[in-house]
Chain A
Amino acid sequence: MSKVVFESEFLPITTVLVSLFTRVFLEEMSVNDTKPTTKRVSNDDLYRRSSQYRVWSFTSEELQRRRQDNNLNGTKVVKQRVDDLEATTPELQEVKESGVEPITVDEEAKIVAYYARKASDVAHFFKLPTQARATAISFLKKFFLMHSVMEYHPLNVMYSCIFLAAKSENSFIGIKTFTGAMPKLTPESILENEYPILESLQFTLLCQHPFRPLYGFYLDVQAVLPKADKSRLGQGYDRARKIVNESLFSDTCFLYTPPQIALAALWEVDSVVVERYLARKFGYKKKKDDGLASVKEDPSEEPTDVKEENTEEETKLDVQEEEIKAKTPEQHYNFIMTIVKKCSQHIHEALNPSLEEAKIISTKVHFCLEPKKLAKKLAKQRLTDAKTPEVSVSLEAESLKREPDSDVSLREDLKRAKID
């Protein structure tokens, strides 16, 4: 089944645009021919071979199905845990009846997003480079595409993901330093998850993020639109970086390629420049009344000139990809704009649950993981309260009253620990 990002229609954006900022293609020479025969390898080909495409690209439906399956599995596991509670546990019936509510698919997504944002805070605390920070978030999201939060509490997994990502991205933090700086962490609690995480990642560790292509586009826009206002582009770049950062908490990395996400972010902050840029890039002459006139251009610079200026490799790529050749510049342009707009919508679907919301879900997760705890809690409650209030109500109230949990109050801890 083809994935959204690579339906054949997808080809132009990577072949033409990825080549803007990375080294392109090259001859695969055959050893023994007198005249070397050459076969071009495009950046699309390279991306298709990457684990990010092979293992971690999905359609929206695939993502949704996967999450539902995980949730179903998790729910089963929780049921099993409750059933496994010894019959002698006096509160068994109550626990069964009301206490342990399985987490819903939506709640799972929220709590993972919450910890993804927290992973970002912790990464900042350790002054990890952007690449390592984004990789930690990516590891966490991937882990919970393979598991339900009812199997692993995302807090523990989060710390291990950061530790592993730092190692994988050449920003190693010693385990003592790492655990010493965070409340209630032990080396064992971090290291015990390394292995399950690696397995969930299917041993694929290389992550490509949109930050690099964003920088590439920033440079290329300046080259293609030399008359565009530099400070406008600079400010646009800074704002687009923030949007790319926000995209880390959405599903975009599973649905689009890094350059597509970068372009969507740029388009959001300055659609005029990006549309002009793409039109130029594809040699597509837009009508004058399209609002692009506000970007001043030398009238002598016709798009056709730009086409000739196109780098050698792009011309070669065009030769290779027959499908692209068959497309008109207008089709190219419209096709890419469709992707950019869709992607930009997806970025805005990034979840950002509140602390209160996260607390409630986190408490539920704790009970799902350890129903025994809930049973004990209920027993204690029954001793103190003559009358037992309705359990489900008390549970929620409980979670809000609880001593600030080490996990949910981490943001505050970090603040106290003098970030930056």
Chain B
Amino acid sequence: MPLPLNYTLDQKVGEGTYAVVYLGKQTLTGRQIAVKQIKTGGFKDGLDMSALREVKYLQELRHENIIELVDVYATPENLNLVLEFLPYDLEMLIRDREVIFTPGDVKSWMLMFLRGLHHCHRNGILHRDLKPNNLLISPSGSLKIADFGLARSLGLPDERLTSNVVTRWYRAPELLFGSIHYTEAVDVWAAGIIFAELMLRTPYLPGADDADQLIVTFKALGTPTESNWPGVSNLPLYDSIEVFSQPSRQELRNRFLAATEAALDMMSQMVELDPSKRNDTTGLLLQKYFVEFPLPTEPELLPKRTKKET
């Protein structure tokens, strides 16, 4: 049984409602780690559900592109998750104006991201909160999917899921319409929007609120109708929305100036309105985009953050 003594907690780096995060070291190896201390006392309903989810899913997922749960230990006051140390996230890089992204860099991040996501999906696990600040970067440049507090196992065909998941800008149209039977496709959509953001260096679909999110989304990618998405009008929140036409290839080219045809192909397959037509991670990993020139940048050579924490 691991003892708290196995780790030193050197520096408090964050505090949330149910957890405090420390940076520290594994005493034996000197390895840098982050410890998420989850408060166990004082909660009406006991241990926090997202903490439970995080433990539950990270225990099952071991992959180069998913944050590693090094250890879990209990102290009388806290449940402690020992996680690998990942100094910054993709959002910080995207916002860092001094950092220049090459197409090879974007490709490298997307490849690592989709490999990690594929591992989640083949284990029957939906992440449900993909966004740039949940994609962490290791000191050696590897991208790792983190924060499984909203994750869940893939539902049975008749199981009802809550549509109130995923941060608004990355929310798939089936979720915007309140669907309670959704699949891995919601993660693929979010990944597609992140792909767009990596190319644009600015959020692709920044809705101001839930209603605006519909408009922003459909202006950019077209309004779902019975003709492009059979059955969509039966979804709970589907309403008569202004019908925007789907963007032509040329319009997409104009929006994503540096993207190759293969890159646009891949993105289009990720942001298909109809979730049943959206490609899955298996298909995406086999895209031409990943083998055509330019090749993905080696992780160690990817741009690093220039600014220090503010």
Chain A residues in the interface with B (C-beta under 8 A): 22-29, 31-32, 34-36, 41, 46, 49-51, 129, 131, 163-164, 167-168, 170, 172, 174-175, 187, 190-191, 194-195, 198-199, 203-206, 212, 215
| Contact with A206, one of B72, B112, B153 (Cβ below 8 angstroms) | B153
| B285 proximal to A (CB < 8 A) | yes
User: Do A163 and B46 have beta carbons less than 8 Å apart?
Assistant: yes
B74 near A27 with CB under 8 A, answer no
Which residue on chain B has the smallest CB distance to residue A191?
B46
B12: chain A residues within 8 A (beta carbon): none
Whether the Cβ atoms of B46 and A31 lie closer than 8 Å is: no
Contact B46 A190 (CB under 8 A): yes
Judged by a CB distance under 8 angstroms, whether B159 is at the interface is yes
Cβ B59 vs Cβ A29 within 8 A: no
| Nearest-Cβ distance from residue B161 to partner chain A, whole angstroms | 8
Q: How long is the Cα–Cα vector from A302 to B57 in the complex, in angstroms?
A: 43
* Beta-carbon contact of B290 and A175 below 8 Å: no
Q: Is B108 an interface residue (CB 8 A)?
A: yes
The answer for the CA separation of A406 and B150 in the assembled complex, in Å, is: 37
Q: Is B308 an interface residue (CB 8 A)?
A: no
> Is A22's CB under 8 angstroms from B124's CB?
yes
Closest residue of chain B to A173 (Cβ to Cβ) is B45
Complex interface residues of chain B between 99 and 148 (CB less than 8 A to chain A): 108, 111-112, 115, 118, 121-124
Contacts of B153 in A (CB 8 A): 206
Q: Are A23 and B296 in contact (CB under 8 A)?
A: no
Given known contacts A29-B285, A46-B122, A51 and B59 CB-to-CB distance under 8 angstroms: yes
Residue of B nearest to A204 (CB): B59
| Complex-state Cα separation, A203 to B40, whole angstroms | 14
Interchain CB contact under 8 A, B282 and A29: no
A31 touches B296 (CB 8 A): yes
A sample of 17 inter-chain contacts (CB < 8 A) reads: A25-B122, A27-B286, A29-B285, A32-B295, A32-B296, A46-B123, A50-B123, A167-B49, A168-B52, A168-B53, A191-B46, A194-B40, A195-B74, A204-B56, A205-B52, A205-B56, A215-B156
Q: Would you give the shortest CB distance from A126 to chain B, in whole angstroms?
A: 15
| Min CB gap B150→A, angstroms | 11
Contact A26 B290 (CB under 8 A): no
Determine if B45 and A31 form an interchain contact, defined as CB atoms under 8 angstroms apart.
no
B13 to chain A, nearest CB (A): 23
Contact check, B295 vs A34: say whether CB atoms are below 8 A apart: yes
In the complex, A204→B56 CA distance in Å? 6
Min C-beta distance of A158 to chain B, whole Å: 16
B49 touches A203 (CB 8 A): no
| B299, CB-defined interface residue at 8 Å | yes
Contacts of A212 in B (CB 8 A): 156
In the complex, the chain A residue whose C-beta lies closest to that of B49 is: A167
Q: A35-B291, A164-B52, A195-B47 are in contact. List 8 more A-B contacts (CB 8 A).
A: A24-B122, A25-B122, A129-B159, A167-B52, A175-B46, A195-B79, A206-B59, A215-B156
- Cβ-defined contact, A31 with B122, below 8 A: no
**A26–B286 Cα gap in the complex (Å)?**
10
Q: Does B15 contact A (CB under 8 A)?
A: no
Min CB distance A107 to B, Å, is 28
Instruction: Decide: A175 near B59, CB < 8 A? Known: A28-B115, A32-B296.
Output: no
Q: Which residues of B contact A25 (CB under 8 A)?
A: 122
Task: Provide the bound-state CA to CA distance between A51 and B79, in Å.
Answer: 19
B44 at the interface (CB under 8 A from A): yes
Contact with A along B164-197 (1 / 0, CB 8 A): 0000000000000000000000000000000000
Check if A198 sits within 8 Å of B62, measured CB to CB: no
B residues less than 8 Å from A26 (CB atoms): 118, 122, 281-282, 285
Residue from A31, A163, A198, A199 with most neighbouring chain B CB atoms (10 Å): A31
Residues on the A chain within 8 Å of B282, using CB: 23, 26
**Cβ 8 A contact of A50, one of B60, B108, B281:** B60
Q: In the complex, what distance in Å separates the CA atom of A203 from the CA atom of B56? A: 7
Within 8 A of A (CB), among B52-77: 52-53, 55-57, 59-60, 62, 72, 74
| Bound Cα distance from A323 to B101, whole angstroms | 47
Residues in B with CB closer than 8 Å to A167 are 45-47, 49, 52
Q: Is the CB of B290 within 8 A of A23?
A: no
Q: Is the CB of A29 within 8 A of B56?
A: no
Residues of B within 8 A of A50 (CB): 60, 123
CB distance from B157 to the nearest CB of A (A): 9
Instruction: Report A134 CB to chain B, min CB distance, Å.
Output: 13
Give the residue name and chain of the A residue nearest to B125 (CB). Answer: A206
Q: Which single member of A27, A170, A194 contacts B46 (CB below 8 Å)?
A: A194
Residue of B at shortest CB range from A172?
B49
Task: List 10 tightest A-B contacts by C-beta distance, closest first.
Answer: A205-B56, A203-B72, A191-B46, A175-B45, A194-B46, A51-B59, A204-B59, A206-B60, A206-B56, A203-B55
Whether B123 pairs with A195 at a CB distance below 8 angstroms is no
Chain B residues near A187 (CB-CB < 8 A): 44
CB distance from A45 to the nearest CB of B (A): 10
User: Nearest residue in B to A192 (C-beta to C-beta)?
Assistant: B46
B251 adjacent to chain A (CB < 8 Å)? no
Q: How far is the CB of B97 from chain A (nearest CB, A)?
A: 27
User: Is B96's CB within 8 Å of the partner chain A?
Assistant: no
Q: Is the CB of B56 within 8 A of A32?
A: no
- B74 in contact with A198 (CB, 8 Å): yes
Residues of B within 8 A of A129 (CB): 159
Q: How far is the CA of A23 from the CA of B291 in the complex (A)?
A: 24
Residues of B within 8 A of A31 (CB): 108, 111-112, 296, 298-299
On whether the beta carbons of B46 and A203 are closer than 8 Å, the reply is no
Taking CB atoms, residues of chain A closer than 8 Å to B121 are 23
Taking a contact as CB atoms under 8 Å apart, the answer to whether A168 and B108 are in contact is: no
Most buried by A among B49, B123, B281: B123
Return B293 CB to nearest CB of chain A, in Å: 10
| A23 and B52 alpha carbons, distance in the complex (Å) | 26
Partner among A24, A29, A46, A163 whose Cβ is within 8 Å of the Cβ of B115: A29
- B79 lies within 8 A of A198 (CB): yes
A131 and B298 CA atoms in complex are apart in Å by 43
- Nearest A residue (CB) for B299: A31
- 0/1 interface trace, chain B 79-93, chain A, CB 8 Å (1 if under): 100000000000000
B304 cross-chain contacts in A, Cβ below 8 A? none
> How distant is the Cα of A268 from the Cα of B299 in the complex, in angstroms?
53
State in angstroms the CA–CA spacing of A322 and B224 once bound together: 48
Minimal beta-carbon separation of B182 from chain A (angstroms): 14
Interchain CB contact under 8 A, A199 and B59: no
For A49, what are the chain B residues with a Cβ–Cβ distance below 8 Å? 60, 62
